Amino acid sequence: MIQVEAPGLLTTVQDLGRWGHQHLGLAPGGAMDRDAARIANLLVGNDPGAAMLEITLAGPRLVLESGGWIAWTGGPSTITLNDADLPGWRPVWAPSGSRLAWGGLHRGCRGYLAVGGGIDVPLILGSRSTDLRAGIGGWRGRPLQAGDRLPIGASRRPTEKPHAGACWPRWWVRHDAPPPDQPVTLHFIPGPDWQTLPDSAREALATGAFRVDRRCDRMGLRLSGPALPAPLGPERLSAGVTCGTLQLPPDGQPILLGVDHQTTGGYPVLGTTASITRSQLAQLRAGDAISFRPLPIAEAQALHRDRERQIGRLAVALEMAWSIADGTRPQHRPPDGAHARSS
């Protein structure tokens, strides 16, 4: 069990989403930063789609009632385990009774905490993700609250008290932290209304003139900048949209949709971000500047496949690291040729 002492700003149980129900109006949802979430799971020996915690800007205080392997990934943060700094992007053995305090994120917006065995909440319509709008899934269909006790599944890694205290390997999964104070570049595949924009509007979107507004959540991010002219032509009929779709409402301030997006939308569509920039999108916070770069669809899909191959190699490298170790702890260095790298 995980006891929640303080829930943080918005902490929810997520997996990789509830697919197959968009025709009924249910958003796929799931972890916003899909790669960080998958890597956290792989680090503790879980299936990449196991349920973990997604934290937002300011994290929770938790007590782990029994010992287990944990890993955190996502935006750079300070986390303490029994008052000692806890490194991220690697597996950590946390003895029973460990107190985990997640401070604010220094940069980025979301962090992920995976535990060996995953958060063992029931599957609702095929997923353990919390859908806040429908009020289903995750822990009782809502964000965590103080006093909640979350069940944990059976871990594939040994949990027979390998160490009295916390311990972790010297290796970690490398990851690219976004350079501070520069616009975040989001590559996107242009949509039907991109070509109808005047050059000045496309220029503004390409040069970081838009910032993330305070109104941003898992449903979508309002952007603020120079008002863009409404595309010409008749009013658009509602049609399917997806995570990363860049809409242009009549006020000229674009909306970038998140994973909890409405399944259909009627605003003009300027484009949809490439899936390889999903992590950058997930880590945007209010005030961040964004620049949008068009990317041909074939290139975006080739990059997507490269990314999936990298994650696959990482999973193999981590399995090797565990199997070479003595079975009670991951060894301190990854085996030759299996340098874990996420990006």
Least distance in Å: CB of 24 to another protein? 5
Least distance in Å: CB of 31 to another protein? 15
* Residue whose CB is less far from another protein, 97 or 233: 233
- Virtual CA dihedral for 297, 126, 108, 281, nearest 10 degrees? 20
* Residue whose CB is less far from another protein, 232 or 237: 237
How big is the site for another protein, counted in residues (CB under 8 A)? 46
State the DSSP string of 100-161: EEEEEESSSSEEEEEETT-B-PPPBTTB---BTTTTBSTTTTS---TT-EE-B---SS--S-
Q: Which residues, 29 to 68, sit near another protein by CB under 8 A?
A: none
* Residue whose CB is less far from another protein, 195 or 323: 195
Interface with another protein includes 22 (CB under 8 A)? Answer: yes
Q: How far is CA 277 from CA 189, 243, 251, 273, 292, in A?
A: 11, 11, 26, 7, 11
* Residue whose CB is less far from another protein, 138 or 330: 138
* Residue whose CB is less far from another protein, 24 or 154: 24
Task: Name the one range near another protein by CB under 8 A: 22-30, 106-114, 247-255, 313-321.
Answer: 22-30
Beta bridge partners of 85: 80
- How far is it, in rounded angstroms, from Cα 342 to Cα 258? 22
- How far is it, in rounded angstroms, from Cα 112 to Cα 54? 5
**Given 80, 185, 224, 242, the residue binding another protein (CB under 8 A):** 242
Pairing state between β 289-294 and 184-190: parallel
* Residue whose CB is less far from another protein, 164 or 237: 237
Q: Which residues, 261 to 300, sit near another protein by CB under 8 A?
A: 262-264, 269, 271-275, 297-298, 300
Q: Say if CB 285 and CB 212 are below 8 A apart.
A: yes
Interface with another protein includes 301 (CB under 8 A)? Answer: yes
3-state SS assignment for residue 251: coil
Interface with another protein includes 327 (CB under 8 A)? Answer: no
**Given 6, 101, 125, 167, the residue binding another protein (CB under 8 A):** 125
Q: Which residues, 180 to 219, sit near another protein by CB under 8 A?
A: 188-189, 191-192
286, exposed or middle or buried, with CB in 10 Å at 0-12, 13-18, 19+? Answer: middle
DSSP-H helix ranges across 216-296: 278-282
Interface with another protein includes 304 (CB under 8 A)? Answer: yes
Least distance in Å: CB of 188 to another protein? 8
Interface with another protein includes 124 (CB under 8 A)? Answer: yes
- How far is it, in rounded angstroms, from Cα 257 to Cα 263? 10
Residues making contact with another protein (CB under 8 A): 19-26, 28, 124-125, 131, 133-137, 188-189, 191-192, 234, 237-242, 244-245, 262-264, 269, 271-275, 297-298, 300-301, 304-305, 308
